[in-house]
């Protein structure tokens, strides 16, 4: 009789050892690190996602902003975190650009982080201060061509999607302007509205209010076709065929996070993205949901790293 509990324990041990990590996860609150400042598209998406994730997983989800060094600081925090599914990163095409632009960063995106899910994609608007004598893309290009290097354009920082959008525009148009990076979109936007820097690529929903108030003048949007949020403005591709610029967001976890946990996170994020209320909220922000499987998002990241490298070489962007 005394041997039976020992025998049961011996038989049970292998089963316990092979139990799925997802069965006991999550054991504590989750942390979503946003390597950008407050109020940006990544911050807004992370906070919108936190509540439905918390409800689905039964644990609080806390958003932590860790901006700095072109998103490197916050990203490195996640790359060095325990791969247990309790720390996530909201990332963007800033990260795929950094793979080429910042060769000395302390992590490698596809080596030190694991793809989880895509979130959404949005296009930009090109605006100028009202003092600039241009109302169309063709007029702005002609102005820059007539005065090479005289005008500046603002961005939310080196290597950000807005910076890449500006440099690819200059390269495709064959004109020159000086990049003035700021520490975030809010600072760059303020500089343009005040006339300190006359040109900027920025988020459509934010700048739409400034355009309506006459603080800036809209020139064009950067999608392949006109934006439903600013249908009166042409797509920049109408003047520069093939031009397109966007900002997209996704979620990654530390490399080594169990596949079962990543698949569960992917399923919950995609469930949230497919809700009509989510699509409506994102549309008001000029974005559209971009649900993908883990495999699809992984392939998407590899393609975007190659595409960003091509753009950076074409525009001769340096760190």
Residues 280 and 265 in one domain: yes
Three-point CA angle 76, 80, 82, nearest 5° = 140
In a domain, 21, yes or no: no
Residues 92 and 150 occupy one common structural domain: no
Q: How far apart are CA 199 and CA 124, in angstroms?
A: 13
Beta pairing partners, 246: 123
Cα(165)–Cα(233) distance, integer angstroms:
17
- Out of 204, 238, 272, pick the residue that ends a domain: 238
Task: Please check whether residues 286 and 218 belong to one and the same domain.
Answer: no
CA atoms in the 13 A half-sphere facing the CB of 114? 24
pLDDT on residue 47: 96
Same domain, 130 and 213: yes
Burial 56-66 (b: 16+ CB within 10 A, else e): bbebebebebb
Please check whether residues 212 and 273 belong to one and the same domain: no
Q: What is the pTM of this model?
A: 0.84
Residues 26, 57: Cα–Cα separation, whole Å = 7
Q: Does residue 113 share a domain with residue 256?
A: yes
CB within 8 Å of 144: residues ≥ 6 apart: 151, 170, 173, 175, 176, 177
- Domain of residue 150, CATH code: 3.40.190.10
For residues 112 and 132, state if they share a domain.
no
pLDDT (0 to 100) of residue 205: 84
Task: Report the alpha-carbon distance of residue 84 to residue 254 in Å, rounded.
Answer: 8
Domain count for the chain, please give it: 2
Structure token digits, residue 109: 């995106």
| Grouped pLDDT means (10 residues each) for the chain, 319 residues | 46 53 88 90 94 97 92 96 98 94 94 98 96 98 97 90 94 96 88 97 90 97 94 96 94 98 98 97 91 98 95 83
Shared domain check, 224 and 83: no
Residue 24 lies in a domain: no
Whether 304 maps to a domain, the answer reads: yes
Report whether the peptide linkage leading into residue 26 is cis, meaning its omega lies within 30 degrees of zero: yes
| Domain presence at residue 41 | yes
Question: How confident is the model at residue 157, as a pLDDT?
Answer: 83
CATH number assigned to the domain comprising residue 294: 3.40.190.150
67 and 149 in a common domain: no
- Residue 259 and residue 110 share a domain: yes
Among 243, 111, 94, residue whose Cα is nearest residue 155 = 94
Q: Is residue 260 part of a domain?
A: yes
pLDDT number for residue 105: 93
Is 3 inside any structural domain?
Answer: no
At which of 185, 213, 238 does a domain end?
Answer: 238
Asked whether residue 7 is assigned to any structural domain, the reply reads: no
- Backbone phi, then psi, for 169, in 5-degree steps? -60, -50
Q: What gap in Å lies between CA 211 and CA 59, rounded to an integer?
A: 42
Q: Domain of residue 291: give its range.
A: 29-122+247-315
Q: Which of 279, 272, 200, 244 is nearest to 51 (CA)?
A: 272
pLDDT at 2: 45
Q: Examine the domain organization and report whether 133 and 112 are in the same domain.
A: no
pLDDT of residue 107: 97
Print burial letters for 257-293: b (CB count within 10 Å at least 16), e (below 16).
bbeebbebbbebbbebbeeeebeeebbebbbebbbbe
Domain boundary among 200, 217, 238: 238
Query: Is 23 among the domain residues?
Result: no
Per-residue model confidence (pLDDT) at position 159: 82
Contact 260, 112 (CB under 8 A): no
182 and 225 inside one domain: yes
């Amino acid at each position: 009789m005394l041997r039976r509990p020992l025998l049961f324990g011996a038989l049970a041990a292998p089963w316990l050892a092979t139990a799925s990590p997802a069965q006991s996860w999550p054991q504590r609150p989750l942390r979503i690190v946003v390597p950008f400042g407050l109020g940006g598209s990544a911050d807004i998406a992370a906070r919108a996602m936190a509540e439905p994730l918390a409800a689905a997983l039964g644990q609080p989800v806390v958003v932590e902003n860790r901006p700095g060094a072109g998103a490197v600081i916050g990203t490195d925090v996640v790359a060095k975190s325990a791969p247990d599914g309790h720390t996530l990163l909201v990332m963007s095409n800033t990260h795929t650009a950094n793979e080429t632009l910042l060769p000395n960063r302390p992590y490698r995106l596809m080596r030190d982080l694991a793809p989880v899910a895509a979130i959404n994609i949005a296009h930009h608007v090109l605006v100028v201060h009202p003092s600039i004598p241009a109302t169309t893309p063709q007029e702005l290009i002609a102005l820059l061509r007539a005065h090479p290097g005289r005008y500046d354009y603002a961005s939310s920082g080196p290597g950000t999607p807005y910076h890449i959008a500006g440099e690819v525009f200059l390269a495709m148009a064959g004109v020159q302007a000086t990049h003035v990076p700021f520490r975030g979109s809010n600072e760059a936007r303020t500089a343009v509205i005040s006339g300190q820097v006359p040109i900027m690529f920025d988020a459509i929903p934010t700048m739409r209010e400034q355009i309506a108030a006459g603080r800036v003048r809209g020139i064009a949007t950067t999608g392949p076709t006109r934006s439903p949020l600013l249908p009166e403005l042409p797509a920049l591709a109408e003047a520069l065929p093939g031009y397109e610029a966007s900002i997209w967001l996704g979620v990654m976890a530390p490399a080594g996070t169990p596949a079962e946990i990543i698949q569960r996170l992917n399923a919950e994020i995609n469930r949230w993205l497919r809700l009509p209320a989510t699509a409506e909220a994102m549309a008001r922000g000029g974005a559209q949901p971009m649900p993908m499987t883990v495999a699809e998002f992984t392939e998407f990241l590899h393609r975007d790293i190659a595409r960003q490298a091509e753009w950076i070489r074409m525009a001769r962007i340096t760190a």
